[in-house]
Amino acid sequence: MGVPQEAFDEVLRLGSNERNSVLRILANHQLGNTDFAEFLRNEFLASGHEGGRGIVLGREPYAVWFEQEGIRIARGNTVRSADSVLFTWQEAAAEIDDLIHTGAYAPAELIDDAIPHMRLEAAQSIWYLHQDLAQDATFFLSEEQFSGKGFPDATLELANLLDDPLYLAQALQGLRMFAAELRDNPDLLRFHIAAHSPERIRQRLELLQNEPTFYPSVIREHETPTFITEDEIDDTLGLGSNYAGSRQSIYRFFSEHKDAKERADFLKAHYGTGGRSHSVSHADNSFLDYDSSGLALKRGNEASIKLKWNAVAKRIDALIQSGRYLTQEELTELEEREEEQALADEGEQEANAEEVEEPDEPQPAEDDFRSGDDAAGQRDVQPLVLRQEGRAPVQDGEADDIDAEIRQGDAPDDGVAEHHPGKEFLVGGSGELPSAVFRLCVRGRGGFRRQRFPFEFIDRRQPAFGGGVFQRGRHQQGPQQAEESSFHRNVLLRLRVR
């Protein structure tokens, strides 16, 4: 069926997924940007990222995707269809030029505001660049322009100054000298942010020196219904949660667990409660929110969609099966890391087996504390995860046995945990435990066996941000925190087998 010209024109009239996009497109055209097609490519691919949107014309939905080669459009809610059409950036530049010449691209109000807005954005970038200046470094504009002024006042005043051709020429000359110094001495800036780099600012100021060309408009501002496409949903899920290595963790779990409910429960715990902005096609008015009920994608007041965790699990599984969740490079890297970890675990088990001596029946330790020396910190520390089995975390001054599950191959195949004097563990807890006897839950071929080993307390430390916490007797993943009104702050306890 193809894509009608009007659908392509309407996509161009809406601009990219960044606010004020149409103003930037108009200003670059009015000021004669000689590489208009490349400008459009950079404008629509926000920070190099692909994205899209859905639009509705005459009750007909169209899916749109901005990709490296151009703009792809298809009828329906996904561009992954046989009738999708790719319009190159050169075709987009030529079509926008035709629309502007015929007055059919943007209303008169936007045409009048385009160049003043470019001056304002240039002034804002200069202000941000000044804020990144290292101590004792000299800026290319007078400090009086920034001293004692807030962002809105300083940038508006600077934008008005840039309307003066003489001031603009002097600012551009100073910027070029500053950029040359920066190349020789990168430490002039504390941060190097591409969005307000000297090169980006120079390009804008040079364009502002050009004589503008205006064309009248024959259209009025209007609303175009939009929606979140299937492609945008998949793209958002493909980014994972807010945790580092999230997608790799999800991929690994889905590879090892096929049950739909297990997958949904894992995703609910993995994501936790939270969200982020710039999440749908990297649009600056979009948000991703998630909690125990599911995951919600929103773009301004235009469109939103809510998915339950079982639906999220099905979509991620489809992405994995189609090879669109992790790239081949990421898969290779993941396999290499897992092989390295397996070799490290095997080497550790062999080293531990060589040190094993058949122990006598271990006796419970006294209800006191023995502090380890500094050399203890040099020993290999293994993670041990508490299994509180429905009880609140052990409090200071309270004696108790703790169920724990050995991780990372510490349990031998026959399900018997051997006594390793001097071996150290990290466990989660809530204070210095007066009882040094712990009950270890060991998984083997025959199921679980519990054995008692004496431990001595060494020290305690705060867990790193982003790890699991112990709350009301359950180990939970995600950004949840223990209620300090009910329990002590959770810590990691370092214990040594006696």
Tens digits of residue pLDDT in 42-70? 999 977 899 999 999 999 999 999 999 99
Residue 143 in this model has a pLDDT that exceeds 50: yes
Pair of tokens at residue 22 = 């149409």
Residue listed under structure tokens 């180990």 = 475
Residue 473 is predicted with a pLDDT of 33
Banded pLDDT at 389 (limits 50, 70, 90) = very low
Residue 174 has a CB neighbour count (10 Å cut-off) of: 14
Question: pLDDT, tens digit, for every residue of 446-470?
Answer: 443 444 556 666 666 554 433 333 3
Min mean pLDDT across 102-116, 324-338, 442-456 is at 442-456
Mean residue pLDDT across the chain? 79
Which residues have a Cβ under 8 Å from the Cβ of 111 and sit 6 or more positions away? 26, 30, 214, 215, 217
Pair of tokens at residue 164 = 């003066």
Mean pLDDT, rounded, for 71-97? 97
Residue 35 in this model has a pLDDT that exceeds 50: yes
Query: Per DSSP, what are the bridge partners of residue 294?
Result: 291
Mean pLDDT, rounded, for 21-40? 97
Residue 48 is predicted with a pLDDT of 83
Mean pLDDT, rounded, for 428-452? 40
Measured CA to CA in angstroms, residue 214 lies from 119, 217, 218 at distances of 17, 10, 13
- What is d(CA 9, CA 232) in angstroms, rounded to the nearest whole number? 21
Pair of tokens at residue 29 = 């055209």
- What is d(CA 469, CA 477) in angstroms, rounded to the nearest whole number? 7
Residue 358 is predicted with a pLDDT of 52
Residue 96 is predicted with a pLDDT of 98
Pair of tokens at residue 240 = 């994972």
Closest CA to 117 of 9, 30, 35: 30
Min mean pLDDT across 239-243, 286-290, 346-350 is at 346-350
Residue 175 is predicted with a pLDDT of 96
Residue 308 in this model has a pLDDT that exceeds 90: yes
Q: Are residues 463 and 490 in contact, defined by beta-carbon separation less than 8 angstroms? A: yes
Residue 201 in this model has a pLDDT that exceeds 70: yes
Closest CA to 494 of 376, 397, 404: 376
Mean pLDDT, rounded, for 299-303? 83
Is 17 in a helix, a strand, or coil?
coil
Residue 158 in this model has a pLDDT that exceeds 70: yes
Residue 416 is predicted with a pLDDT of 40
Residue 243 is predicted with a pLDDT of 86
Q: What is the largest CA-CA distance in the chain?
A: 95
Which residues have a Cβ under 8 Å from the Cβ of 229 and sit 6 or more positions away? 52, 53, 54, 63, 64, 65, 77, 78, 79
Residue 2 is predicted with a pLDDT of 82
Highest mean pLDDT out of 147-151, 344-348, 355-359: 147-151
Residue 10 in this model has a pLDDT that exceeds 90: yes
Residue 398 is predicted with a pLDDT of 34
Residue 66 is predicted with a pLDDT of 98
- What is d(CA 294, CA 267) in angstroms, rounded to the nearest whole number? 9
- What is d(CA 287, CA 284) in angstroms, rounded to the nearest whole number? 8
Residue 418 in this model has a pLDDT that exceeds 60: no
Mean pLDDT, rounded, for 192-196? 88
Mean pLDDT, rounded, for 9-27? 97
Banded pLDDT at 233 (limits 50, 70, 90) = very high
Query: Per DSSP, what are the bridge partners of residue 61?
Result: 56
Residue 303 is predicted with a pLDDT of 84
Closest CA to 274 of 243, 316, 320: 243
Residues of the chain with pLDDT > 70: what percent? Answer: 69
Residue 331 in this model has a pLDDT that exceeds 60: yes
Mean pLDDT, rounded, for 68-85? 96
Q: Are residues 478 and 270 in contact, defined by beta-carbon separation less than 8 angstroms? A: yes
Residue 364 is predicted with a pLDDT of 46
Mean pLDDT, rounded, for 438-445? 38
Q: Are residues 350 and 375 in contact, defined by beta-carbon separation less than 8 angstroms? A: no
Highest mean pLDDT out of 281-290, 352-361, 394-403, 475-484: 281-290
Measured CA to CA in angstroms, residue 368 lies from 56, 386, 419, 454 at distances of 72, 21, 21, 12
- What is d(CA 173, CA 161) in angstroms, rounded to the nearest whole number? 15
